[in-house]
């Protein structure tokens, strides 16, 4: 997963304003770092996303992002 996809999923799940706040304040128990710190430390965005989802109890059905209708 690319970093841009991580932020796309974060904003889709938590909202554009709160996603950055959450990433900077939620300490991920598996890393003992915030999501932003974990990313800066070189943890793969997919692993950080999974950790955020686990800790925030995001259902499996929403972990790939919301369905977006195709453009016509």
**Tens-place pLDDT, residues 6-31:** 999 999 999 999 999 999 999 999 99
Measured from the Cβ of residue 22, the count of other Cβ atoms closer than 10 Å reads: 19
pTM of the model: 0.88
CA distance 47 to 12: 17
Q: How far does Cα 43 stand from its chain's mean position?
A: 12
Q: pLDDT tens digit string along 35-72?
A: 999 999 999 999 999 999 999 999 988 888 877 666 77
């Amino acid at each position: 997963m690319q970093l841009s996809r991580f932020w796309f999923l974060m904003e889709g799940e938590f909202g554009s304003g709160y996603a950055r706040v959450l990433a900077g304040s939620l300490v991920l128990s598996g890393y003992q770092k915030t999501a932003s710190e974990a990313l800066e430390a070189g943890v793969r965005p997919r692993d950080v996303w999974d950790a955020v989802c686990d800790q925030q109890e995001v259902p499996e059905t929403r972990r790939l992002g919301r369905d977006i209708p195709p453009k016509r």
